[in-house]
C-alpha cells in the first residue's frame, strides 16, 4: 500500500510544485530542483521502486526540467567520496570472503572473561569495531548467528537461571543491533550519512573532511554511547544476578574450530591494517604524495586483486566477488549528491535559508537539541540514507540563516540520522535481531527510547562543544 501511494504521490507533488509557481514564489530553476527533490524524496521514503533506482531520477529530471545542467547532475555520481566508499566496500568483501571478521569477533569475545556481562561487553566491542569498517547491516548479519549460538550454548549448559538466561538473550541481541549502528558513527565509511557529510562539505562548501578528522570528532561519541549502552542493558534494563556463572569457552571453541590464520586471512588483514593506518595518519603524510582518503581506499582495493591467493585461482579477490558489492548504496550516494549540487547551483539553498531564518533568535544549543531530536525520531521511520540525503543540502541554508558555520547543522544531520534504536523497521540491524523471535516489540521500544534520550543529549553536547575544536572552526 505504501509503495502504491508513493508511486502516484511523488509525480503529483512534482507537477504541483513545478507548474504552480505561486506556491513557492521561486524562479524556474530552483523551483524545478525543489520539485525533483520532493519527487525523489517521496519515492525514497515510500520505496515506490527500489531505492537505488530512484537514486537515478535526479540524473534524468534535473536536466529535463531545467533545474541544472547535465554536467552538474552527473558529476556527483563520480564524487571522490563515492569511490572512497567503494574502496571500503571492496576491502570489506575480502574480510568477509576469508572469514577474518569472524576471527576478530571471537578473539575479542574470548578475551573479555567469563561473566555474562563480559560476554555482552565483548560482543559490543567486536560488533562496534567491525561496524566501523563494514556496513552496519552486514555487521549485524554476521554477528547475529554468533549471538544466537552464544544464547543456545548458555541455555544448554544451564549456566544461568531461566529468567536470567531470558534477560541475557534480550540484552545480547539488542547489543548486536545497537552496537552495529553506534560503531558506524566513528568512521567516514562506517555509516552512509558520515560520507554524505564529507561529500557535501567538499562539493558545496569546498572544504575537505579527512578520515582522521572525522574519527577525532566522532570516535569519542561512539565510545561514550557504547558505555551508556552497556550500563543501560546490564545494570538497568536486563540486570542479571548470577552473571558470573557463564563460561567464555564458546568463543575459544570457535577460534579452535577456525584453526590457525590462513595465508589469505593474514594478507587481507595486512591490507586492511595498512589502509586503516594510512587513513588515520593521512593528515600527517607529505602533501606531495597526494594520498587522499579516496586514493588510499583504491590502493587497498586494487592490492586485493593483485595479491595472489593460495586457496583459489586468482587474487584475494576476483571480479566475480564484486557481484556482492553494494552498488545500490553507491547509486544512492550519487543521487543525494546530485540533488545537493543542484541545490547550490540553482540557489535553492538560499531560499531554504530564508524560510528557516525564523529560528535565528533561538540560542544555538537549543537549535541543535531540537534538530537532533527531530531528525533522530524521523529516522526511526525512514531510511537514514534518505534522511541525510534530503537534509544535508538544506542544513547549509539553515546555517546561513542563523549565521553559524554549516558544520554545526551538518554534524547534527549526519550523527542523528545514523541513530535509530526503537523500531525493527528503523535500521537493518534492528530488523535482523528482531527476526530471531527472542525479542518482544516492547523490549526494543523501551530500550530504544531510553537510548534515544541519552543519544540526543550526547550528540547535542558534542556538536556544540567538541565539533568546533575537532574541525578547527
Q: Which residue stretches of 282-314 are H helix?
A: 293-306
Check residue 101 and give its pLDDT.
75
Check residue 221 and give its pLDDT.
94
As a whole number of angstroms, the distance between CA 444 and CA 421 comes to 7
**pTM recorded for the entire structure:** 0.72
* 80-97 and 327-346 helices, crossing angle to 10°: 170
The separation between CA 286 and the C-alpha centre of its own chain, rounded to angstroms, equals 30
- For cell 574480510, the residue is 95
Check residue 116 and give its pLDDT.
76
Q: Which residues contact 143 (CB under 8 A, 6 or more apart)?
A: 105, 123, 126, 127, 130, 176, 180
* 80-97 and 293-306 helices, crossing angle to 10°: 40
Q: Which residues contact 266 (CB under 8 A, 6 or more apart)?
A: none
Contact 76, 334 (CB under 8 A): yes
The separation between CA 10 and the C-alpha centre of its own chain, rounded to angstroms, equals 26
CA distances from 347 to 19, 34, 390, 398 (A): 19, 11, 16, 13
Burial of 253: CB neighbours in 10 Å, binned 0-12, 13-18, 19+: middle
- For the chain, what is the largest distance between any 2 Cα atoms, rounded to a whole number of angstroms? 71
- pLDDT tens, the chain, 473 aa long: 778 888 899 899 999 998 988 888 888 888 998 899 889 878 877 778 887 888 899 999 999 998 888 888 888 888 887 787 788 778 878 887 888 877 877 777 777 766 778 888 888 998 898 888 877 777 777 777 777 777 776 776 666 777 877 888 888 899 998 999 899 899 888 888 888 888 888 888 888 888 888 999 999 999 999 999 999 998 888 887 765 556 556 677 777 888 888 888 899 989 988 887 887 776 667 767 777 778 888 999 999 999 998 877 788 999 988 888 878 778 877 887 788 788 778 877 677 666 666 666 778 888 888 888 888 887 776 667 767 777 787 888 788 777 888 888 889 888 988 888 877 767 778 777 776 777 777 888 888 899 999 999 999 999 999 999 998 87
Check residue 61 and give its pLDDT.
92
Check residue 358 and give its pLDDT.
67
- For cell 557504547, the residue is 226
How would DSSP label each residue in 377-430? HHTTTS-HHHHHHHHHHHHHHHHHHTT--HHHHHHHHHHHHH---S-TTT-HHH
Check residue 164 and give its pLDDT.
78
CA distances from 471 to 217, 288, 408, 411 (A): 8, 23, 10, 11
Check residue 297 and give its pLDDT.
83
As a whole number of angstroms, the distance between CA 365 and CA 319 comes to 49
The separation between CA 325 and the C-alpha centre of its own chain, rounded to angstroms, equals 16
Amino acid at each position: 500500500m505504501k509503495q502504491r501511494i508513493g508511486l502516484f504521490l511523488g509525480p503529483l507533488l512534482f507537477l504541483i510544485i513545478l507548474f504552480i509557481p505561486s506556491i513557492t514564489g521561486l524562479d524556474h530553476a530552483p523551483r524545478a530542483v525543489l520539485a525533483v527533490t520532493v519527487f525523489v524524496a517521496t519515492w525514497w521514503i515510500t520505496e515506490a521502486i527500489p531505492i537505488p533506482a530512484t537514486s537515478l531520477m535526479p540524473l534524468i529530471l534535473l536536466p529535463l526540467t531545467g533545474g541544472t545542467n547535465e554536467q552538474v547532475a552527473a558529476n556527483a555520481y563520480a564524487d571522490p567520496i563515492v569511490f572512497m566508499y567503494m574502496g571500503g566496500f571492496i576491502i570489506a568483501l575480502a574480510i568477509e570472503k576469508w572469514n577474518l571478521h569472524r576471527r576478530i569477533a571471537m578473539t575479542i569475545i574470548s578475551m573479555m572473561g567469563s561473566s555474562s556481562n563480559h560476554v555482552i561487553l565483548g560482543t559490543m566491542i567486536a560488533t562496534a569495531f567491525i561496524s566501523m569498517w563494514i556496513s552496519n547491516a552486514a555487521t549485524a548479519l554476521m554477528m547475529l548467528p554468533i549471538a544466537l549460538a552464544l544464547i543456545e550454548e548458555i541455555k544448554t549448559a544451564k549456566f544461568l537461571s531461566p529468567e536470567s538466561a531470558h534477560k541475557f538473550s534480550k540484552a545480547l541481541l539488542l547489543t548486536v543491533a545497537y552496537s552495529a549502528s553506534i560503531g558506524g558513527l566513528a568512521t567516514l565509511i562506517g555509516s552512509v550519512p558520515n560520507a554524505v557529510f564529507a561529500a557535501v562539505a567538499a562539493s558545496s562548501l569546498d572544504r575537505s573532511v579527512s578520515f582522521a578528522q572525522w574519527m577525532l570528532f566522532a570516535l569519542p561519541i561512539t565510545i561514550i554511547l557504547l558505555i551508556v549502552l552497556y550500563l543501560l542493558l546490564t545494570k538497568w534494563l536486563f540486570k542479571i544476578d548470577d552473571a558470573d556463572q557463564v563460561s567464555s569457552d564458546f568463543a575459544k571453541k570457535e577460534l579452535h574450530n577456525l584453526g590457525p590464520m590462513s595465508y589469505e586471512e593474514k594478507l587481507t588483514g595486512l591490507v586492511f591494517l595498512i589502509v586503516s593506518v594510512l587513513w588515520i595518519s593521512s593528515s600527517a603524510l607529505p602533501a606531495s604524495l597526494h594520498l587522499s582518503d579516496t586514493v588510499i581506499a583504491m590502493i587497498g582495493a586494487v592490492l586485493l586483486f593483485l595479491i595472489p591467493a593460495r586457496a583459489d585461482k586468482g587474487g584475494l579477490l576476483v571480479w566475480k566477488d564484486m557481484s556482492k558489492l553494494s552498488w545500490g548504496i553507491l547509486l544512492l550516494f550519487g543521487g543525494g549528491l546530485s540533488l545537493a549540487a543542484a541545490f547550490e547551483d540553482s540557489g535553492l539553498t538560499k531560499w531554504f535559508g530564508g524560510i528557516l531564518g525564523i529560528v535565528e533568535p533561538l540560542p544555538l544549543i537549543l537549535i541543535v537539541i531540537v534538530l537532533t531530536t527531530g531528525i533522530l525520531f524521523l529516522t526511526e521511520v525512514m531510511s537514514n540514507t534518505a534522511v541525510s540525503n534530503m537534509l544535508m543540502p538544506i542544513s547549509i541554508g539553515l546555517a546561513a540563516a542563523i549565521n553559524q558555520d554549516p558544520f554545526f547543522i551538518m554534524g547534527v544531520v549526519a550523527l542523528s540520522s545514523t541513530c535509530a534504536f526503537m523500531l525493527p523497521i528503523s535500521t537493518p540491524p534492528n530488523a535482523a535481531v528482531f527476526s530471531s523471535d527472542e525479542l518482544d516489540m516492547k523490549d526494543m521500544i523501551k530500550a530504544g527510547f531510553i537510548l534515544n534520550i541519552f543519544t540526543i543529549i550526547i550528540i547535542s553536547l558534542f556538536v556544540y562543544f567538541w565539533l568546533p575544536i575537532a574541525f578547527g572552526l
